[in-house]
Copies of this chain bind each other. A is one copy, B any other.
Amino acid sequence: MASEHTAKAFDTDLQELTRLVAEMGGIAERMIVDSVDALIRRDVALGQRVVTTDAELDTLQKKIEERAVLTIARRQPMAIDLREIVGAMRVATDLERIGDLAKNMGKRVAALETDFHPLKLFRGLEHMTDLVQQQVKSVLDAYAAHDLPAAMAVWKGDEEVDAICTSLFRELLTYMMEDPRNISFCIHLMFCAKNIERIGDHATNIAETVFYMIEGQAITDKRPKGDMTTFATTIPNT
């Protein structure tokens, strides 16, 4: 009887944790979209709103960690139940970092007040963002539904994002070489592109957490990796 009570109490705790993670996910997704929208539309107020919102994610992450730890201490879950709790903590950590990266983009909006505003560059950024936001959405759905194939699809699917990032870096470099007045603007966009790419990395981290929760072990396969941006800026020298 007591153990049945414990099992029910555990389920309630876990549901609450999953609900909090979903809440974080919703906020993080919104922040990604808003920060890039703010960049494209030069909407300083929206950028500032993203910066302010980040505190909500930080608070939720701490709350999830606290509740997770209390649940473990009180219910002493084993095996798969324990992994569910650890999984919630890990996903919360990734979402908190996604928030930091969006916040950093939000901060840059004010610095991009310039007449130089090539639409082509922004389209690249927008396209990257669409893909990454879709990855974040898909992997959070996969997490909620315990859908391993869907999580693995995200895990394998960030090559396109990396390719766009690399080509965007090349283009930005060209603009910088053409006219020194473009430099500061392009640097900001480079940091933003890198942030979006890193948000994609966090989506794959979450996919790995889903794998761990379901399979009970860390993923061992090597992930396909198309990111060459660390090297893209050497091109003019070669």
Contact = CB atoms under 8 A, between A and B. Distances in A.
A234 B111 contact: yes
Interface in A191-238: 191, 194, 218, 230-231, 233-237
Contacts of A237: 113-114, 181, 184-185
A111 B187 contact: no
A184 B234 contact: yes
Contacts of A77: 73
Given A218-B62, A230-B104, A230-B107, A184 B73 contact: no
A233 B114 CA distance: 12
> How many monomers of this chain does the complex have?
2
A91 to B, nearest CB: 13
A190 interface: yes
A69 B93 contact: no
A233 B93 contact: no
A140 B74 CA distance: 30
Interface stretch (A25-33, A143-151, A172-180): A172-180
A76 interface: yes
Of A74, A110, A111, A188, chain B has the most CB atoms within 10 Å of the CB of: A111
Contacts of A14: none
Closest 6 CB pairs of A and B: A184-B233, A177-B180, A72-B72, A111-B234, A107-B230, A73-B76
27 contacts: A65-B86, A66-B86, A69-B72, A69-B82, A72-B72, A73-B76, A73-B77, A93-B93, A111-B234, A113-B234, A113-B237, A114-B237, A173-B187, A176-B176, A176-B183, A177-B180, A177-B183, A180-B236, A181-B237, A183-B183, A183-B236, A184-B233, A184-B234, A184-B235, A187-B187, A187-B190, A187-B233
